[in-house]
Amino acid sequence: MDFLEITQRVKRESGRSSSGASPATIVGASQPDLDIFNAVNDAWRDVQLMPRKWRWMWLQALATVGVDNTTYTAASLGAPTWARWKTESVDYRPSMFDPANAQTEWDLRFVDYDTFARAFLKGSHAAGASQYWSIANDGSFLIGPKPNLAYTLRADYYVKPQELTADDHIPAMPDQFHILLVWKALESVAISDNAPEKLAKAQNMAGAILDALILDQGEQLRFTAYPLR
């Protein structure tokens, strides 16, 4: 569903459609309908900001790094919607490879910014095949030592929350979960309308769909067991 379709469904579920037609567009919408559009966009923003590391908000930058350069902005790495770099984990590390020999791709190891700065930002150091990465205070992606060739960097990142502002804007999460925004928005509308039955229905429906969304798109907790010694 797109932004308009979600808003129209919220209005039907709220019962407000009995006193007025469904909105045909956000452009020039009446204030009551505009309030529903805003409730949908607010619900979408709230879902995106949940601390779940949603899969649909996780993209990959694949870019050439410059010779003798250690510092790269997200934009320079082809990530205009960047919000933050994905942190290193058991399953993930950024990597680099020589485009002339892509089979030799290797992982980069993360070091904290102060350690990186002492090793690669202060004074001088010899260029080489970069082995380490870090994140500057302004969010820039750092690699060290400075590359001696134009290597290709592969790094994952999370995008900024998407805003719905036009009728045909489609929420970036999988479409089978778009209905969640109907029920989350209806929670706000029902509170505004002092409609406890509508609120209870919306909360029940939203809760079930959110559980399914977390299972499908949220980062799952992993536990590693080590043998006793």
Q: Does residue 88 carry a pLDDT above 70?
A: yes
Q: What angle do CA 186, 204, 194 make, to 5 degrees?
A: 45
Q: What is the pLDDT of residue 223?
A: 42
Q: What are the helix and strand counts (H, E) for the chain? A: 5, 9
Q: HSE (CB half, 13 Å, CA atoms) of 159?
A: 19
Express each pLDDT in 3-44 by its tens digit.
999 999 999 999 998 767 889 999 999 999 999 999 999 999
Q: What is the dihedral of CA 222, 57, 86, 145, to 10 degrees?
A: 150
Q: Which sign, positive or negative, has the C-alpha torsion 12, 16, 198, 209?
A: positive
Share of the chain above pLDDT 90, in %: 90
